[in-house]
Structure formats: C-alpha cells, structure tokens
Structure 1
Amino acid sequence: MLGALAAAFAYGGYRVNFTPSYAYGLWRIEPLDREVRAGDRIFICPPADTAAELALERGYLPRGLCPSGTGPLIKTVVALPGQSVEIDGQVIIDGEPLPFSRVLSADAEGRAMPVYAGGQIGEGVLFLHSDFVGSYDSRYFGPIPAEGVLGLAREVLTFAP
C-alpha cells in the first residue's frame, strides 16, 4: 500500500504543500504544452545559487529533489522577458503596482531580507510572486530560469488556514 502511494506521488506528479505561500495540501504538477504566460501558477525548481542556499538555511523551503537541493516552488508568473520590474516598497511591473506585493526588509524572525534591485526581465527567466506577504519569491531573489518550470500547479485537496 505504501509503495503504491509513493509511486503515485513520484510518477503521478503529486506534491504536498506545507508552506503558506499557497493553500496547504495536495497539489498536482500538470504538464505544460505551451509557453509560460503571465498569470500561470506553476511548479518550478529554483536554480542552485545563493538564494536557494539562503532558503534552505533559513527554512523558507524544504529539502527536495530539485538541482538546488530544495523542493519545487509554487508561484505565479507575474512578469515575462521584456517587461520592466521596479521595487519601491512594492513590486511595480511596467509602471503598474502589483497587488499584495509589499516588500519586507526583514523576515518573521527579524533577519534582513535581500531585495531584488529591479530591471528589465531578460530572456529565459521569469519573475514569480505569491500574494502571501511572507512569501520568498522574486521580490527577494529576482527572476529565475524558465528552464526550471515543471508544469502548472493544480490544487487537488487543499485548505487555507
């Protein structure tokens, strides 16, 4: 029974979310057979860099099977290559403030947060966001490579606290 359940998770694209960035519970990675669009909620593996190291060190992300050593992120794509992102207390995309995008200077434990400097989104990268104020997303680590996209994130059995 446990083996069958493990196989369903490993090969069926199911993941359990334990972070408050999106609803807790069971999610599925749905194949993406088109280009990523702004507004897509996706699963993505962050690159192995200092942002992933910080996320693991501070417990923002669980350990997982992504090349960075983390589990995949569930985030919404809010800016694509060619778009301009400004950080001024919140995220501003192409001159328009992004709702629920306040940028924090410190995390819940008072540790200083790195903040993305802003700029034009380059080819091959995506700017990601979650409406949860404490989310560790592109506000802090900047755009990340689109090659890490695993697929669309679909809720299966979730709940919001």
Structure 2
Amino acid sequence: MSVRKTLLNIGFYGLAATITAAAILIGMAECYHWSLNLTTCMPVGFYQRGPAPKHLKVGDRVFFCPPVNSPAMKQAMSGLWLEYAPRGKWACADHLMPFMKEVVALPGQKVTITKSGVIANGKRLPNSRVVTRIEDGKLKVIHLPYRTYTVPKGMFWDYAQGNFAYTSAYYGPIPIANILGSVRPVPWLTIPGSQFWLKVSKR
C-alpha cells in the first residue's frame, strides 16, 4: 500500500471517528439534558440542566431568561454582545439565549458595587470589578451606579467569576420567576479556568 493511500485511509477513519464521537455526544446531550456553554461566565463545557430550585439559596447555579428593558441590556443587544436562540427553542424575550449564573443575594440582602468589585452580604466576589470601557476606551459600558443595593422582593442578584461576565452589576437584579432551571457542570466535560481566557482591560 502506498504512503498516499495509507494517509488517505488514516484521514478517512479519523474523520469517521470524529463524526461518530460528535453524534454520540449530541445524543447524550439530548438524552441527559446537557447544554454547551461557550461563554466566559463559567468554564467552557457541558452543563446538565435540572428543575428550578424549590427554595432558592445563595450559591445555586441557575439558568434564566435575562431582562431586556434595562439600559445595559439594550446596549448589549444593540452591540450584539449576546447569544440568540433559534426561534421557538426558548421562551426568552427577543429570542435571547438564557443566561447561566450563580445566585449571590436574595430578597432583602445587600449588594454593594464599588470601583474595585462587588460585595454581596459582606463578601467580596472574586474578579467582579465592572468593565467600564471597551474598544480601546472608545465605548462606555453601561452599568449600575457605584452604591449599595437591597435586593427587592421576588428577585435575586446574579454573578459569574469569568472575565467580562455580564451580570447583575450591569443590568440589575433578576425576577425569580425568570428562572428556567438549575445547572451543574458535567464531570470531565468542562475546562477548568477557561472562563478566564478572554482578556479584557478593565478600565
């Protein structure tokens, strides 16, 4: 057998194996209710969706429909910073993909936004300093004013540790009714540290 034919066979079987593995992974994702996260909010990889928490608590990881009426969200949508879902896939307004974040404050609890980061219930959240400008400082990013907030009744405050994670520090607290379910990472199918891959100058 010639070298050329051998290489062609290797390429063919390699492609077939890749397609087969992808098909198996897609099938497992459908069967086990997995979602693929490619954002910098949480580590890149697969997360298993579950029912919404019956009693929401700090530390829960949830996916939810984002708000669309705040100035920050309008800026994000007009700037095409967000992901959109195929029509009919999710019930979120304006066909936005659900957000996946961690709950850090519940109704009645305090959150303070400072220039050095966000403090929730007296605990400083890692890597939470808001980005104020992007595009080499040319575009000002809308975020909530620096001050202390009390989470209103029926709402929660979200957070994600990744670089340039778009959180409640920009668009405000989220109605608990917007929660679609809970999420947890699928073991061995997420990449630790990948939420820090995107480098953003935090001005």
- With normalisation by structure 2, the TM-score equals 0.67
2:126 aligned counterpart, secondary structure: coil
Larger Rg: 2
Q: Could you tell which deviates more after superposition, 96-105 or 145-154?
A: 96-105
1:20 aligned counterpart, secondary structure: coil
Q: CA RMSD in A?
A: 2.5
Q: Out of 141, 146, 171, which is 1:113 matched to?
A: 141
- Return the offset for 1:12: 5.1
Match of 2:127 in 1: 100
Number of residues paired by the alignment?
A: 158
- Normalized per residue, the structure richer in helix is 2
User: Structure 1: where are the runs of 5+ without partners?
Assistant: none
Q: Out of 59, 79, 82, which is 2:108 matched to?
A: 82
Q: Out of 72, 80, 94, which is 2:98 matched to?
A: 72
- Check whether the contact 1:84–1:119 (CA below 8 A) recurs between aligned residues: yes
Aligned residues with identical type, % of pairs: 32
Over 3 Å counting, the alpha-carbon distance change for 1:62 and 1:79 in structure 2 is same
- Check whether the contact 1:107–1:134 (CA below 8 A) recurs between aligned residues: no
User: Structure 2: where are the runs of 5+ without partners?
Assistant: 1-19, 195-203
Over 3 Å counting, the alpha-carbon distance change for 1:108 and 1:40 in structure 2 is farther
- Return the offset for 1:147: 0.8
Deviations 1:9-51 (A, max 9, x none): 3x85322111111111221211134211111111111123244
- Check whether the contact 1:75–1:128 (CA below 8 A) recurs between aligned residues: yes
Q: Is 1:139 aligned with 2:169?
A: yes
Match of 2:181 in 1: 151
Q: Is 1:62 aligned with 2:94?
A: no
- Check whether the contact 1:102–1:133 (CA below 8 A) recurs between aligned residues: no
- Check whether the contact 1:45–1:72 (CA below 8 A) recurs between aligned residues: yes
Alignment of 1:13-92 (within 5 A): 13-50=33-70, 51-64=72-85, 65=90, 66-89=92-115, 90-92=117-119
